[in-house]
Amino acid sequence: MSLVHTFSVGRLRCHTLEAGLQRLDGGAMFGVVPRPLWEKRAPPDERHRIPLALRCLLVEHPDGPVLIDTGVGDKENPKFHDIYGIENAGDPGPTRLEDGLAAVGVAPDDVRLVVNTHLHFDHAGGNTRLANVDAAILDSSEFAAELAFPNATYVVQRGDLEFARRTNERTRASYLPKNFEPVSVANRWRLFNGDGEVVPGIALRVTPGHVPYHQCIVVRDGGESAVFLADLVPTAAHLPLPWIMGYDLEPLRTLESKRALLEEAASRDWLLVFEHDPVIATARLERTTRGLELRDEVRVATAAVG
Protein backbone atom coordinates (compact mmCIF):
# COMPACT_ATOMS: atom_id res chain seq x y z
CA MET A 1 0.00 0.00 0.00
CA SER A 2 1.15 3.53 -0.80
CA LEU A 3 0.77 6.95 0.78
CA VAL A 4 -0.37 8.19 -2.65
CA HIS A 5 -3.26 6.72 -4.61
CA THR A 6 -3.52 7.86 -8.23
CA PHE A 7 -6.64 7.60 -10.37
CA SER A 8 -8.14 9.35 -13.37
CA VAL A 9 -11.42 11.15 -13.89
CA GLY A 10 -11.64 11.35 -17.66
CA ARG A 11 -8.44 13.13 -18.67
CA LEU A 12 -7.85 14.60 -15.21
CA ARG A 13 -5.16 12.80 -13.23
CA CYS A 14 -5.89 12.83 -9.49
CA HIS A 15 -3.91 11.83 -6.41
CA THR A 16 -5.07 11.24 -2.85
CA LEU A 17 -2.34 12.45 -0.49
CA GLU A 18 -2.04 11.12 3.05
CA ALA A 19 -1.31 14.27 5.06
CA GLY A 20 -1.15 12.53 8.43
CA LEU A 21 -3.42 11.12 11.08
CA GLN A 22 -5.53 12.39 13.95
CA ARG A 23 -7.44 10.57 16.69
CA LEU A 24 -10.80 11.84 17.93
CA ASP A 25 -13.27 10.54 20.47
CA GLY A 26 -15.29 7.73 18.93
CA GLY A 27 -18.51 8.74 20.63
CA ALA A 28 -18.21 12.27 19.25
CA MET A 29 -17.47 10.92 15.79
CA PHE A 30 -20.66 8.83 15.72
CA GLY A 31 -23.09 11.03 17.62
CA VAL A 32 -26.24 9.16 18.71
CA VAL A 33 -25.05 5.79 17.37
CA PRO A 34 -24.45 3.44 20.36
CA ARG A 35 -20.87 2.39 20.99
CA PRO A 36 -21.58 -1.37 20.60
CA LEU A 37 -22.47 -0.59 16.97
CA TRP A 38 -19.76 1.88 15.96
CA GLU A 39 -16.84 0.18 17.71
CA LYS A 40 -17.28 -2.85 15.43
CA ARG A 41 -16.44 -0.63 12.45
CA ALA A 42 -13.98 1.73 14.15
CA PRO A 43 -12.22 0.14 17.16
CA PRO A 44 -11.10 2.82 19.65
CA ASP A 45 -7.79 3.08 21.51
CA GLU A 46 -7.39 3.14 25.30
CA ARG A 47 -8.40 6.82 25.30
CA HIS A 48 -11.61 5.98 23.40
CA ARG A 49 -10.33 7.66 20.24
CA ILE A 50 -10.53 6.34 16.70
CA PRO A 51 -7.89 6.92 13.98
CA LEU A 52 -8.80 9.34 11.21
CA ALA A 53 -6.90 10.14 8.04
CA LEU A 54 -6.05 13.68 6.99
CA ARG A 55 -6.43 12.94 3.31
CA CYS A 56 -6.16 15.67 0.67
CA LEU A 57 -6.79 15.49 -3.07
CA LEU A 58 -4.53 16.89 -5.78
CA VAL A 59 -5.96 17.32 -9.27
CA GLU A 60 -3.59 17.82 -12.19
CA HIS A 61 -5.59 20.40 -14.12
CA PRO A 62 -4.64 22.14 -17.38
CA ASP A 63 -4.77 25.46 -15.47
CA GLY A 64 -2.29 24.16 -12.90
CA PRO A 65 -2.38 21.86 -9.85
CA VAL A 66 -5.50 22.12 -7.69
CA LEU A 67 -5.22 21.04 -4.05
CA ILE A 68 -8.39 20.20 -2.12
CA ASP A 69 -7.98 20.68 1.65
CA THR A 70 -4.61 20.96 3.35
CA GLY A 71 -4.60 18.92 6.56
CA VAL A 72 -3.39 20.25 9.91
CA GLY A 73 -0.18 22.02 8.87
CA ASP A 74 2.91 22.69 10.98
CA LYS A 75 1.87 25.43 13.40
CA GLU A 76 0.52 23.56 16.44
CA ASN A 77 2.29 22.73 19.69
CA PRO A 78 2.87 19.32 21.33
CA LYS A 79 -0.09 19.73 23.70
CA PHE A 80 -2.42 20.30 20.72
CA HIS A 81 -0.95 17.26 18.96
CA ASP A 82 -1.52 15.11 22.05
CA ILE A 83 -5.13 16.20 22.54
CA TYR A 84 -6.05 15.48 18.94
CA GLY A 85 -3.69 12.55 18.42
CA ILE A 86 -2.01 14.21 15.46
CA GLU A 87 0.78 12.55 13.49
CA ASN A 88 1.94 14.95 10.82
CA ALA A 89 5.76 14.96 10.74
CA GLY A 90 7.29 18.43 10.33
CA ASP A 91 8.47 19.99 13.63
CA PRO A 92 10.87 20.86 11.88
CA GLY A 93 10.99 19.44 8.39
CA PRO A 94 8.40 18.79 5.71
CA THR A 95 4.87 17.83 6.66
CA ARG A 96 3.37 14.66 5.27
CA LEU A 97 1.34 16.76 2.86
CA GLU A 98 4.57 18.24 1.50
CA ASP A 99 6.00 14.73 1.25
CA GLY A 100 2.92 13.60 -0.68
CA LEU A 101 3.14 16.52 -3.07
CA ALA A 102 6.82 15.80 -3.65
CA ALA A 103 6.00 12.16 -4.38
CA VAL A 104 3.87 13.23 -7.35
CA GLY A 105 6.36 15.86 -8.50
CA VAL A 106 4.54 18.97 -7.26
CA ALA A 107 6.16 21.69 -5.15
CA PRO A 108 4.11 24.06 -2.95
CA ASP A 109 5.02 26.90 -5.32
CA ASP A 110 3.45 24.96 -8.21
CA VAL A 111 -0.05 24.81 -6.70
CA ARG A 112 -2.38 27.28 -8.41
CA LEU A 113 -5.64 26.69 -6.52
CA VAL A 114 -6.30 25.60 -2.94
CA VAL A 115 -9.93 24.66 -2.35
CA ASN A 116 -11.10 24.37 1.27
CA THR A 117 -14.22 22.36 1.99
CA HIS A 118 -14.46 24.48 5.17
CA LEU A 119 -12.00 26.19 7.48
CA HIS A 120 -11.74 23.80 10.43
CA PHE A 121 -8.14 23.27 11.52
CA ASP A 122 -7.93 19.70 10.18
CA HIS A 123 -9.02 20.84 6.71
CA ALA A 124 -7.32 24.23 6.43
CA GLY A 125 -4.39 24.10 8.85
CA GLY A 126 -1.96 23.56 5.99
CA ASN A 127 -3.15 26.71 4.21
CA THR A 128 -0.40 28.57 6.06
CA ARG A 129 2.94 27.71 7.59
CA LEU A 130 5.37 28.96 10.21
CA ALA A 131 7.10 32.16 9.19
CA ASN A 132 10.23 33.89 10.46
CA VAL A 133 10.58 31.89 13.67
CA ASP A 134 12.45 28.95 15.01
CA ALA A 135 10.30 25.89 14.35
CA ALA A 136 10.50 24.98 18.05
CA ILE A 137 8.42 28.06 18.94
CA LEU A 138 4.94 26.65 18.47
CA ASP A 139 2.78 28.91 20.66
CA SER A 140 0.30 30.39 18.20
CA SER A 141 0.38 33.76 19.94
CA GLU A 142 4.11 34.12 19.37
CA PHE A 143 4.62 33.88 15.64
CA ALA A 144 3.38 35.00 12.27
CA ALA A 145 2.08 32.64 9.59
CA GLU A 146 2.58 32.94 5.85
CA LEU A 147 0.93 31.30 2.85
CA ALA A 148 2.03 27.70 2.43
CA PHE A 149 1.17 27.93 -1.28
CA PRO A 150 2.43 31.39 -2.24
CA ASN A 151 1.32 31.29 -5.87
CA ALA A 152 -2.16 29.91 -5.22
CA THR A 153 -5.61 31.44 -5.07
CA TYR A 154 -7.60 30.05 -2.15
CA VAL A 155 -11.26 29.10 -2.54
CA VAL A 156 -13.96 28.72 0.11
CA GLN A 157 -17.59 29.67 0.64
CA ARG A 158 -17.94 33.31 1.67
CA GLY A 159 -20.36 32.18 4.35
CA ASP A 160 -17.82 29.85 5.92
CA LEU A 161 -15.17 32.57 6.12
CA GLU A 162 -17.67 34.89 7.79
CA PHE A 163 -18.80 32.09 10.10
CA ALA A 164 -15.17 31.37 11.02
CA ARG A 165 -14.78 34.99 12.08
CA ARG A 166 -17.85 34.90 14.37
CA THR A 167 -17.01 32.01 16.64
CA ASN A 168 -18.68 31.13 19.91
CA GLU A 169 -17.96 28.73 22.75
CA ARG A 170 -18.89 25.75 20.57
CA THR A 171 -16.98 26.66 17.41
CA ARG A 172 -13.87 28.60 18.36
CA ALA A 173 -11.70 25.54 19.01
CA SER A 174 -12.14 24.45 15.38
CA TYR A 175 -11.73 27.78 13.55
CA LEU A 176 -8.20 29.10 14.13
CA PRO A 177 -7.54 32.51 12.52
CA LYS A 178 -3.88 31.71 11.78
CA ASN A 179 -5.13 29.18 9.21
CA PHE A 180 -7.17 31.63 7.15
CA GLU A 181 -6.54 35.29 8.03
CA PRO A 182 -3.09 35.37 6.39
CA VAL A 183 -4.94 34.51 3.16
CA SER A 184 -7.12 37.56 3.73
CA VAL A 185 -4.12 39.78 4.42
CA ALA A 186 -2.54 38.60 1.16
CA ASN A 187 -5.82 39.21 -0.69
CA ARG A 188 -5.78 35.69 -2.10
CA TRP A 189 -9.35 34.54 -1.45
CA ARG A 190 -11.80 33.70 -4.21
CA LEU A 191 -15.08 33.49 -2.34
CA PHE A 192 -18.19 31.71 -3.60
CA ASN A 193 -21.80 32.24 -2.66
CA GLY A 194 -23.27 28.79 -3.23
CA ASP A 195 -22.59 26.10 -5.81
CA GLY A 196 -20.28 26.94 -8.69
CA GLU A 197 -17.45 25.85 -10.97
CA VAL A 198 -13.97 26.87 -9.85
CA VAL A 199 -12.26 25.83 -13.09
CA PRO A 200 -13.66 23.64 -15.85
CA GLY A 201 -14.29 20.22 -14.34
CA ILE A 202 -14.01 21.16 -10.65
CA ALA A 203 -17.26 22.25 -9.01
CA LEU A 204 -18.40 23.19 -5.52
CA ARG A 205 -21.50 21.59 -3.98
CA VAL A 206 -22.74 23.21 -0.77
CA THR A 207 -23.71 20.46 1.70
CA PRO A 208 -24.71 22.16 4.97
CA GLY A 209 -24.99 20.45 8.33
CA HIS A 210 -21.52 19.85 9.72
CA VAL A 211 -21.19 23.61 9.50
CA PRO A 212 -23.63 25.90 7.69
CA TYR A 213 -21.47 26.40 4.58
CA HIS A 214 -19.67 23.07 4.30
CA GLN A 215 -19.03 22.04 0.70
CA CYS A 216 -18.08 18.89 -1.16
CA ILE A 217 -15.98 19.06 -4.31
CA VAL A 218 -17.03 17.32 -7.53
CA VAL A 219 -14.42 16.55 -10.19
CA ARG A 220 -15.81 15.80 -13.67
CA ASP A 221 -14.36 15.03 -17.09
CA GLY A 222 -15.18 12.78 -20.01
CA GLY A 223 -18.44 11.55 -18.54
CA GLU A 224 -16.78 10.46 -15.27
CA SER A 225 -17.13 12.05 -11.83
CA ALA A 226 -15.55 11.84 -8.38
CA VAL A 227 -16.72 13.59 -5.23
CA PHE A 228 -14.51 14.62 -2.31
CA LEU A 229 -16.83 14.07 0.65
CA ALA A 230 -14.96 15.92 3.40
CA ASP A 231 -17.04 15.89 6.61
CA LEU A 232 -20.38 15.06 4.99
CA VAL A 233 -19.37 11.37 5.05
CA PRO A 234 -16.02 11.48 6.86
CA THR A 235 -15.37 7.72 6.81
CA ALA A 236 -16.82 4.66 5.15
CA ALA A 237 -18.37 3.76 8.52
CA HIS A 238 -20.51 6.90 8.22
CA LEU A 239 -22.23 5.68 5.05
CA PRO A 240 -25.58 4.86 6.77
CA LEU A 241 -27.72 7.99 6.73
CA PRO A 242 -28.25 8.33 10.52
CA TRP A 243 -24.55 7.79 11.33
CA ILE A 244 -23.75 11.49 11.76
CA MET A 245 -21.01 13.09 13.84
CA GLY A 246 -21.74 14.68 17.19
CA TYR A 247 -19.53 17.51 15.96
CA ASP A 248 -22.13 18.51 13.35
CA LEU A 249 -23.85 21.77 14.24
CA GLU A 250 -27.03 20.97 12.33
CA PRO A 251 -27.34 17.17 12.11
CA LEU A 252 -30.76 17.16 10.47
CA ARG A 253 -29.39 19.33 7.66
CA THR A 254 -26.46 16.91 7.40
CA LEU A 255 -28.99 14.11 7.00
CA GLU A 256 -30.67 15.78 4.03
CA SER A 257 -27.38 16.88 2.42
CA LYS A 258 -26.07 13.34 2.79
CA ARG A 259 -29.25 11.72 1.45
CA ALA A 260 -29.25 13.89 -1.68
CA LEU A 261 -25.57 13.58 -2.50
CA LEU A 262 -25.31 9.82 -1.93
CA GLU A 263 -28.41 9.20 -4.06
CA GLU A 264 -26.85 11.19 -6.89
CA ALA A 265 -23.49 9.48 -6.45
CA ALA A 266 -25.12 6.05 -6.59
CA SER A 267 -27.34 6.79 -9.58
CA ARG A 268 -24.46 8.29 -11.58
CA ASP A 269 -21.73 5.88 -10.40
CA TRP A 270 -19.55 8.61 -8.93
CA LEU A 271 -16.26 7.70 -7.28
CA LEU A 272 -16.29 8.59 -3.57
CA VAL A 273 -13.14 10.08 -2.03
CA PHE A 274 -13.05 9.81 1.77
CA GLU A 275 -11.07 12.46 3.62
CA HIS A 276 -10.95 10.85 7.06
CA ASP A 277 -11.24 7.10 6.59
CA PRO A 278 -7.97 5.63 7.91
CA VAL A 279 -7.90 2.81 5.35
CA ILE A 280 -10.33 3.36 2.47
CA ALA A 281 -9.33 6.19 0.16
CA THR A 282 -11.90 5.72 -2.61
CA ALA A 283 -14.89 3.51 -3.40
CA ARG A 284 -18.11 3.40 -5.40
CA LEU A 285 -21.68 2.73 -4.33
CA GLU A 286 -24.05 -0.04 -5.23
CA ARG A 287 -27.67 -0.61 -4.28
CA THR A 288 -28.40 -3.83 -2.40
CA THR A 289 -31.35 -5.21 -0.47
CA ARG A 290 -29.72 -3.65 2.61
CA GLY A 291 -29.43 -0.21 1.01
CA LEU A 292 -26.34 1.56 -0.35
CA GLU A 293 -23.08 -0.31 0.15
CA LEU A 294 -19.50 0.19 -1.01
CA ARG A 295 -17.76 -1.61 -3.84
CA ASP A 296 -14.40 -1.21 -5.59
CA GLU A 297 -12.72 -0.04 -2.38
CA VAL A 298 -9.12 1.18 -2.66
CA ARG A 299 -7.13 0.86 0.56
CA VAL A 300 -4.05 2.91 1.39
CA ALA A 301 -1.41 3.16 4.12
CA THR A 302 -2.43 6.26 6.07
CA ALA A 303 -0.04 5.99 8.99
CA ALA A 304 0.53 3.78 12.00
CA VAL A 305 -3.08 2.84 12.72
CA GLY A 306 -3.82 0.66 15.70
DSSP state of 163: H
Asked if residues 107 and 9 have their Cβ atoms less than 8 Å apart, the reply is no
The DSSP line for 253-286 is HHHHHHHHHHHHHHHTTPEEE-SS-SSEEEEEEE
Helix (H) or strand (E) holding 82: helix 78-84
Query: Could you read off the pLDDT of 242-296 as tens digits, one per residue?
Result: 999 999 999 999 999 999 999 999 999 999 999 999 999 999 999 999 889 999 9
Give the predicted TM-score (pTM) of the model.
0.94
Q: What pLDDT score was predicted for residue 306?
A: 42
pLDDT tens, 288-299?
998 899 999 999
Q: Please count the helices (runs of H) and the strands (runs of E) in the chain.
A: 8, 16
- Average pLDDT across each block of 10 residues of the chain; the chain has 306 residues. List them in order: 87 97 97 97 96 98 98 93 88 84 97 98 96 53 80 98 97 97 97 98 98 98 98 98 98 98 97 98 94 94 53
